[in-house]
Structure 1
Amino acid sequence: MSGTQLTVTLSGGGADDARTVVRVLEGAFGAPDELPGDEDATVRTATFGDATPEGGAADTGEGGGRLSAPVTVTVQGSPEAVRRASDTLARAFTARDDGAASGDQEQERQLLLEP
C-alpha cells in the first residue's frame, strides 16, 4: 500500500531501547522519518512514511537486539502494516499482545516487549 504511514509509539525503557525496536522495524518498513533520541522523554515516536518495504523482500527482524527494560509499543496504520509490524516485533522480542482497536481504515495494536 503505497503512501501508507505506520506510526510507532514507545514508552518504558530508554532511548536506546526505543532505537532498538525501531531498527527491527526498519527491515520491514525501511528507514523511519527520524530515530527516537530524546533521553528525557517518557514517550517516543517514530513514523515510517511508507509501510511498503523497498525492494519487496522484508527482513523478518529476528535477533533484533536486547532491551534493558520492558517497552510498551503501540503501532498504528493500515491493518496490513499493523499486522506486519506486530509479527516482526513478536519474532524479534518476547512480546505480549495487549490488545487492538480497529477503525474504518486504520488499526492500532499494543504490545509489551520484554527484555
Structure 2
Amino acid sequence: MSDTQLTVTLDGGGIDDARAIVRALEGVFGAPDGRPSDEGATVRTATFGSPGTPQAADAPARAADGTLSAPVTVTVQGTPQAVEAASETLSRAFTARNDGVASGDQERERQLLLVP
C-alpha cells in the first residue's frame, strides 16, 4: 500500500489528554489532519496519513507529565501495520490495556484503554 491512514478516536479525558495522545503518535505517523481543540467535546478524532509503512519508534516519550488526568478509550483503525504501530506506540507512552481487536480483509481496528 502506498499510503497509510490511521483514524484515532478518543473517548474520555480532557483536551490535554487528547493532545498528549496525538503527540505520542506524531513521532510515528507525522502530523495529523488537525489537533484536538474542542474543549467541550466528549469524543475527539484525528486522522494520520503518511507515505509508506509507519515505523515503530524505539522508545517514544511519555506524555508531558507521564500520566493522563482520566481514563481514555482509544480506538485506532487503519491498515494492520498502522494499527500495530499505533498500539505499540501508545502502550509504550502510557499505561494501556488492550480491550479488543477486529480484523477485516484490509483494515484492522483495536481498542485500548489508557489509564492515569
Normalization by structure 1: what TM-score?
A: 0.90
Partner of 1:62: 61
Distance in 2 between the 1:79 and 1:57 partners?
13
- Which sections of structure 2, spanning at least 5 residues, go unmatched? none
The alignment-based identity, stated in percent, is: 70
Q: What is the CA-CA distance between 1:15 and the residue it aligns to?
A: 1.0
| RMSD, aligned α-carbons | 1.9
Q: How many residues align?
A: 114
Distance in 1 between the 2:83 and 2:29 partners?
11
Partner of 1:48: 48
1:31 alignment partner AA: A
1:62 and 1:88 in contact (8 A); partners too: no
Corresponding residue SS for 2:3: coil
1:7 and 1:77 in contact (8 A); partners too: yes
Q: What is the CA-CA distance between 1:62 and the residue it aligns to?
A: 3.1
Partner of 1:81: 82
- Which sections of structure 1, spanning at least 5 residues, go unmatched? none
Partner of 1:105: 106
Q: What is the CA-CA distance between 1:60 and the residue it aligns to?
A: 3.5
Q: 1:95 to 1:57 in 2, by over 3 A?
A: closer
1:29 and 1:53 in contact (8 A); partners too: no
Runs of 4+ in structure 1 off by over 3 angstroms are 51-54, 56-60
2:83 and 2:108 in contact (8 A); partners too: yes
2:56 and 2:89 in contact (8 A); partners too: no
Normalization by structure 2: what TM-score?
A: 0.89
Q: What is the CA-CA distance between 1:106 and the residue it aligns to?
A: 0.3
Q: What is the CA-CA distance between 1:61 and the residue it aligns to?
A: 2.0
Distance in 2 between the 1:67 and 1:10 partners?
13
More strand by share: 2
Q: What is the CA-CA distance between 1:57 and the residue it aligns to?
A: 7.5
